[in-house]
């Protein structure tokens, strides 16, 4: 008879091989069912509104749904046609979420009230990926610092292309940031807005998504004295491949960090296009 902690570790490690293997363990015993069920719910990827509503029904069918979701769910990815109102309900239910990817459109967003703001501000997120149009109107006066949800972040990905065209949206005031991902375009991005990001005291990884040729972007950065080993250029083709079906929300950042760490060891290096999701 193995000690419970060792038994739990064995089942947990085996469950990482595949979801199918993890599900097969649910029938072993009540104790193992409890362990594996929490493991299965740790990272939730919901591709559309239908799956999202089924997820809510599944959680609400439990005796203590809010306690279960708060304790079990740590990473959430909401995609496709999921409504803003449904997303807000999921975020409110999964109040222990640390990593959140909001890859949805503001289809049912009421211009007077935004149901996302309150549940988002109650989270202690460390990682967030989203379009700012879910939270703000497109205006030069946007400041991320005005929302509590951004204060605890260490990892932030903004999907909007227009960030750094006319404003930094207050990114330099988010003092906890260590990893940042934005779009960059040689004809729209203002070089002076990149400077405060490179001067940020804690930024360790700065990923720029690009839709132009890498040589053009490299020349743009070099001519404006913005070369930096912390910068990783990610082509839109690679970005799309990485985002579709990505279940490990943190893999993107882990890959980019490895690239920067290799350069640090090599005492610098170019910022050639690479695939942060590659091993």
Determine which of 5-9, 15-19, 78-82 has the lowest per-residue pLDDT on average. Answer: 15-19
249-264 mean pLDDT: 84
- Burial (CB < 10 A; 0-12, 13-18, 19+), residue 250, is middle
Confidence of residue 229 (pLDDT cuts 50, 70, 90): very high
- Mean pLDDT within 233-261: 66
Alpha-helical segments (H) within 140-267:
191-198, 214-223, 236-243, 251-265
pTM assigned to the model = 0.82
- Residue 177, class by beta-carbon neighbours within 10 Å (0-12 exposed, 13-18 middle, 19+ buried)? buried
> Tokens for 25?
């363990």
- For 27-48, the pLDDT digits (tens) are 444 554 555 566 678 888 999 9
Distances (CA, A) of 263 to 3, 90, 271: 44, 39, 9
What are the CA-CA distances from residue 171 to residues 102, 211, 223 (Å)?
19, 22, 23
CA distances, 107 to each of 22, 45, 83 (Å)? 35, 20, 7
Task: Name every residue whose Cβ is closer than 8 Å to that of residue 205 and which is 6 or more positions away in sequence.
Answer: 178, 179, 180, 230, 232, 253, 256, 257, 260
């Amino acid at each position: 008879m193995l000690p419970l902690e060792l038994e739990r570790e064995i089942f947990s490690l085996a469950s990482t091989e595949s979801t199918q293997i993890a599900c097969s363990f649910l029938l072993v015993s009540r104790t193992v069912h409890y362990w594996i069920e929490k493991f299965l719910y740790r990272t939730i990827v919901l591709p559309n509104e239908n799956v999202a509503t089924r997820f809510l029904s599944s959680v609400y069918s439990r005796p203590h749904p809010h306690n279960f979701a708060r304790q079990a769910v740590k990473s959430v990815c909401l995609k496709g046609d999921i409504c803003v109102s449904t997303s807000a309900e999921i975020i409110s239910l999964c109040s222990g979420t640390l990593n959140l990817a909001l890859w949805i459109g503001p289809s049912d967003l009421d211009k007077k009230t935004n149901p996302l703001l309150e549940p988002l501000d109650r989270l202690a997120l460390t990682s967030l990926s989203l379009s700012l149009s879910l939270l703000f109107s497109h205006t030069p006066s946007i400041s991320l610092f005005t929302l509590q949800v951004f204060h605890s972040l260490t990892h932030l990905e903004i999907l909007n292309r227009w960030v750094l065209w006319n404003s930094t949206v207050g990114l330099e005031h988010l003092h906890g940031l260590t990893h940042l991902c934005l779009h960059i375009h040689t004809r729209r991005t203002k070089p002076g807005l990149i400077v405060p990001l490179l001067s940020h005291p804690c930024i360790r990884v700065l990923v720029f998504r690009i839709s132009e040729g890498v040589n053009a972007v490299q020349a743009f950065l070099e001519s404006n004295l913005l070369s930096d080993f912390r910068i990783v250029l990610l082509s839109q083709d690679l970005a799309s491949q990485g985002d579709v079906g990505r279940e490990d929300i943190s893999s993107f950042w882990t890959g980019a960090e490895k690239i920067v760490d290799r350069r640090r060891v090599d005492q610098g290096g170019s910022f050639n296009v690479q695939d942060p999701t590659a091993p």
